[in-house]
Chain A
């Protein structure tokens, strides 16, 4: 067995029979699906109206890919977030950007959204243009080289769980440029980090520092105040992360993974519980920095959105304050962006969760902590 692995895989792939494209059937399938989605959106509106009238949400029999009913938002805010010390809950439905109670209309359907202490960074139409809005005023803040999207923004556009910094790789004509560091409270670029053409990952963004992994060399720390980049040890990065309370830790799956690269972001629903899981949805314990196990409990009767064939994708969305996280539950299936979602708010200390935005249908995007 001395052939390269790539060549062996090529032989296996070549052994598969030919693929025949049937364009008319693909067009018909696309038409059917879009028709169903339009019906589903109408059905969802009617169902919500009925829920208000009778106190229960019943969504069935419309052919939409959501077999399970979802509860309406809890009638009493049992998981209240302190408005003085919180970030707004943010998400987008099509062109409507929600910033807490405010809404803003984007030019195109939103493909990516993230949050800072001051508002929302979003990208629409996957063209790399980054917008910022605080719910009242909206402006272009830059252009990202690689386009961001719900499932691939990690390392493309990054914000911190506290503070006002947004980091992205700038676009310089057709070539990727330096990393741009933008402060949404000042509404201006506060730093540019030359990164060359090598691979890199933004590991952590704090209120005044950006930590990078250039992979080929040692970890780097960019200090916004001085504009200087210095090397830092993994222990130094861990110490910086430990100074922040908005952090969950997940044990590495094996020795080749570094724990700081695998924050607890995925969950599976098991009865009334949200169980932290790894990328393959195998359960993996998550703890707070204080060492307490994260145990999230769902409202009675809650069932995460899923396709008719089953399958939900449930992910950490954003920290609202030091004690509350938003969790994004979507119907799985690879739709980009997902078509059906719930946003839940969970209180970390006691694990109590409530549905904040119930069973939205339509192109739906929320921050995704990867």
Chain B
């Protein structure tokens, strides 16, 4: 049976990292409930693996990798039956009708239209601010593939958002490599 000390340590880890994992999951799937399910799935898998996870300093990275790989495989299974939607996945936040909300909603919409592995590469590089090597480790691919996935994903987003997206990219040139 599970040791009480393991459960206590896991509880502390889940409380501390859950919100951050949830935000990543939300960017990956664009749906609050699905993101909640995704993080719970990742935390359950982490708890099952807990006895053999000796490097506790890397627990968050381990669980984030599960969030990303699971979201890609969930999407992969669903993609046999579903096509990308033209509708926003979530309604805009009430009371925030300004340009700013429209802009990040538009970015979210464009992001969710990108194929899942490309989306994962963009989220890891631009939101999580991982280096290409770190993103490659999370995605289980080469650094070259991360570069090509990010480039292809940004190309999709540019096609969706128009030329003004280039200004956004230009403003974000500081992203680490």
Contact = CB atoms under 8 A, between A and B. Distances in A.
Interface residues of A, number: 72
B70 A154 contact: no
B interface secondary structure, majority: helix
A92 to B, nearest CB: 14
Nearest to A260: B144
A311 interface: yes
A299 B102 CA distance: 53
B144 A125 contact: no
B56 interface: no
A156 B138 CA distance: 12
Given A16-B22, A281-B79, A6 B14 contact: no
B133 A335 contact: no
Interface stretch (A24-32, A45-53, A57-65, A78-86): A24-32
Interface residues of B, number: 87
Contacts, number: 214
Interface string B1-43: 0100001001100110011011110110000100110011101
Interface string A141-177: 0000011011111111000000000000000000000
Interface of B: 2, 7, 10-11, 14-15, 18-19, 21-24, 26-27, 32, 35-36, 39-41, 43-45, 47-49, 52-55, 65-66, 69-70, 72-74, 76-77, 79-80, 93, 100, 103-105, 107-108, 111, 115-117, 122-123, 126-127, 129, 131-133, 136-145, 147-149, 151-152, 155, 161, 164-165, 167-169, 171-172, 174-175, 177
Interface of A: 1-21, 23, 25-27, 29-31, 33-34, 108-109, 125-127, 146-147, 149-156, 199-201, 203, 213, 215, 253-254, 256-258, 261-262, 279-281, 307, 309-311, 313, 332-336, 370
